[in-house]
Structure 1
Amino acid sequence: MGPLEGIKVIDLTSVVMGPYATQVLAEFGADVIKIEAPAGDLVRAIGPARHSGMGPMFLNSNRGKRSITLDLKTPEGREVVLELCRSADVLAYNVRPAAMARLGLSFEALAEVNPRLIYAGLYGFGQNGPYAARPAYDDLIQGGATLAHLFRLSGNEEPRYVPTAISDRVVGLTGVAGILAALVARGRTGRGQRVDIPMFETMVQFVLSDHLGGLSYDPPLDGGGYARQLSVNRRPLKTADGYICALVYTDEHWKRFLTALGEEEKLSDPRFADYVGRSVNIDHVYGWMTGVFLTRSTAEWQALFEEIDVPAMPLHDFDSVLRDPHLTAVDFFVRVEHPSEGALRVMRNPVALSDTPVTLPGPAPRQGEHSRDILRGAGLSEAQIDSLFEKQVVRGL
């Protein structure tokens, strides 16, 4: 039994941020009921696929869920959601709160149906500010939270986005934390509550925890930014035959590293002698390392770092990471058989719990695959279910 066994989640989310959060809940053992509009979740169509609507981004953010296709814009569709929420523990959504209110699915409306319900919204902006009604996507939030600006500060001519949906993933995990906190509180009070997880505020905190720097003080001590992370030379180090990722960080690391290279005299150089000196002269330090690393192969450097116990890793690409010996040893990538998509490679949840193990959840669902079963579980009769299908309020396989 997973740690969330017995918890029922009504999942009204789509695209990446919300589905990623609810997949984590499913991996922890929750029963997640994914409600999709007739058009289906947009990410079903992203990436190569064996069958329409079953693309890899969908498969990797919706495992372990049951799917029902439901038209929420109809009165009957709303009534189905209310019925599902009567016995649910969590409802998660990632449209703007005003859209939920227009559907008649506000926190107040659902709290009347089930006062124990955790009502969790993952969306763009806190509702007390001027941006409240704005739409938001990962790219926008990366720019607003200064992530794109960091690229310019670190030597790029133009600002850039991180080439992964980092805002969606970080906010999704923050949403998981908020939902779990609300469930713990409910265990004490017996009451559900509204949980709001705004993207913009979450990502500004995430980024500026490193980079607020001297702006933490009033008056400011500097213009902000963590010098080591922003150094133009902070990057994988080119070796004689490839690249390596190494972080010679602490004073003890530097002592062992310079001694191994026969460069002990640098230990008395104020630019290398201690953490403060290296921080002030980080561009010089990293520039020197850039030249040094060209003198040996990647394997030679990796062997040296293991010998002197300094952190280092190979620079992986999408192919080589699949063959990483550590990930292989811990069975991180697992081959499974999907009932419609055949053989798939999936990733385990990395969290390990000793008493309530996190196991692989079931496969990502086909759209509407479980519509009838979900409605039966909510107590609807076969006649009621047939009527909903005839009116196309509900659809399924």
Structure 2
Amino acid sequence: MTGVRVLEVAQFTFVPAAGAVLADWGADVIKVEHAETGDAQRGLVQVLGLDVSGGSSSFYPIMEGPNRGKRSMGLALDKPEGRELLLELARQSDVFLTNFLPAAREKLGIEVEDIRAVNPDIIYVRGSGFGNRGEERTKGGYDSTAFWARAGSAAGVTPPESEQLLGMPAGAYGDSLGGMTIAGGISAALYARQVTGESSVIDVSLLSVGAWATQFSANLALMNGGPLPAVETPKHGAPSNPLIGPYRTSDDRWLWLAMLQPGRYWPEFCRVAERPELIDDERFDSAEKLMQNAGEAAALVAEIFATKDFDTWVKLLDGVGQWAAVQNAWEVGNDPGLRTNGYVATVKDAEGVDRELILNPVQFDETPPEITRAPQFAEHTDEVVLGLGKTEDELIGLKIAGAIT
């Protein structure tokens, strides 16, 4: 994306995350923030019950993830001088990226026709909660509502007997997936413009991203002509396979098995588990019998896992079918697979302290991108304005007018 300029008028994570991915790939991303308050996400201090503030440090993970590698300018779009600066930037940009609602876009003069009036070739991108058509086009949405609740994930992960719905496993969960989706759409639009000369208007909603994530279930329900029947989840294993699902070790850790061919893997598992007599047990000595008696087999598997600790099982299961350790956030950040393949990057914060961030999942030519920290609020205003050819006196005049921070 070197040579591509992205003009981002957006806040929170969903759409800014797309800008971060493009910045990872080399694009010059200019983040336009409210001239006084900046991106509203800078004011968040708690998410999902966790303290997300940077404390005494300038390194603020909730901002770093979706904003690394960008340049920030504080711009008052409600001032004529500020809007003119935005349009000057739009003239020099390849992509205009926003998640402002229709009323705000119209009020600020940043609708498609406004931006295309100064740059007909620009790719215009709208991220929304529920899409750009229909009665809900003016309605805002977060990933907890549009992506997680509305699009089926919350119902999909919550057991039928549960007294409460399960929430997202991480902050900005749907937002991050949505940002990656938008970045892919922008890439396709840039390619199409190069080949055909035609620019695109791109729409991605949190609802559509959530539905795409749950498409297996939604597609099945559509084929069946109604809601899917409730499936009773066994305590251990799957209804017809004891070697699928989570099992607890003696030290209260978990392993998740996904050995989809029980007849193939059952003998091997029994051998490494030091229970070879179960291979020829008349209840389990064929794939058909194992599937018919999966409940009994799964109960035995649970008992077997409870006899040894996590580290022992990791060694015993090495090379046996498909399985994975169930990891917490700290373990994910230190996962050897991520680190060996370069998906954890080191950046220096504003104080020069080394910090680490998870990279986006796309890697080109086996080379991890080199990234920089997220900008401080309005950190690059002067640089961006002077880059437009303005003089120092004009820069001061814009500040006096309240057009820039």
For 1:137 and 1:342, locate their aligned partners in 2 and report how far apart those are by CA, in whole Å.
32
Q: Give 1:202 shift.
A: 2.2
Change in Cα spacing, 1:353 to 1:205, as seen in structure 2 (3 Å) is: closer
Partner in structure 2 of residue 190 of structure 1: 197
Once the two structures are superposed, residues 294-315 of structure 1 have per-residue CA deviations (whole angstroms, 9 ceiling, x without a partner) of: 122212221222143x223333
Partner of residue 175 from structure 2, selected from 168, 186, 211: 168
Partner in structure 2 of residue 137 of structure 1: 142
Matched, 1:148 2:154: yes
Matched, 1:338 2:349: yes
Q: For residues 253-292 of structure 1, what are the structure 2 equivalents within 5 Å? A: 253-258=265-270, 260=272, 261-262=275-276, 263-264=278-279, 265=281, 266-268=284-286, 270=288, 272-273=290-291, 287-292=299-304
Q: TM-score, normalised by structure 1?
A: 0.86
Once the two structures are superposed, residues 350-380 of structure 1 have per-residue CA deviations (whole angstroms, 9 ceiling, x without a partner) of: 432118x442222211111110111122233
Partner in structure 2 of residue 302 of structure 1: 314
Change in Cα spacing, 1:322 to 1:198, as seen in structure 2 (3 Å) is: closer
Partner in structure 1 of residue 28 of structure 2: 31
Unaligned runs of 5+ in 1: none
Q: For residues 10-159 of structure 1, what are the structure 2 equivalents within 5 Å? A: 10-37=7-34, 38-45=36-43, 46=45, 47-51=52-56, 54-141=59-146, 142-153=148-159, 155-159=161-165
Q: For residues 377-392 of structure 1, what are the structure 2 equivalents within 5 Å? A: 377-392=387-402
For 1:267 and 1:53, locate their aligned partners in 2 and report how far apart those are by CA, in whole Å.
61
For 1:96 and 1:70, locate their aligned partners in 2 and report how far apart those are by CA, in whole Å.
18
Once the two structures are superposed, residues 79-131 of structure 1 have per-residue CA deviations (whole angstroms, 9 ceiling, x without a partner) of: 11110010100011112233212211110111121111111111111222222
**What is the count of residue pairs matched by the alignment?**
380
Residue 295 of structure 1: SS of its match in structure 2? coil
Q: Give 1:285 shift.
A: 6.2
Partner of residue 205 from structure 1, selected from 206, 212, 226: 212
Unaligned runs of 5+ in 2: 46-51, 238-244
Which is further off, 15-24 or 144-153? 144-153
For 2:296 and 2:388, locate their aligned partners in 1 and report how far apart those are by CA, in whole Å.
65
For 2:9 and 2:371, locate their aligned partners in 1 and report how far apart those are by CA, in whole Å.
19
Which is further off, 80-89 or 191-200? 191-200
Residue 170 of structure 1: SS of its match in structure 2? helix
Q: What is the CA RMSD across the aligned residues, in angstroms?
A: 2.7
Q: Give 1:136 shift.
A: 0.5
Residue 290 of structure 2: SS of its match in structure 1? coil
Change in Cα spacing, 1:326 to 1:152, as seen in structure 2 (3 Å) is: closer
Residue 272 of structure 1: SS of its match in structure 2? helix
Change in Cα spacing, 1:152 to 1:330, as seen in structure 2 (3 Å) is: closer
Change in Cα spacing, 1:285 to 1:138, as seen in structure 2 (3 Å) is: farther
Change in Cα spacing, 1:98 to 1:189, as seen in structure 2 (3 Å) is: farther
Q: Give 1:15 shift.
A: 0.9
Change in Cα spacing, 1:218 to 1:320, as seen in structure 2 (3 Å) is: closer
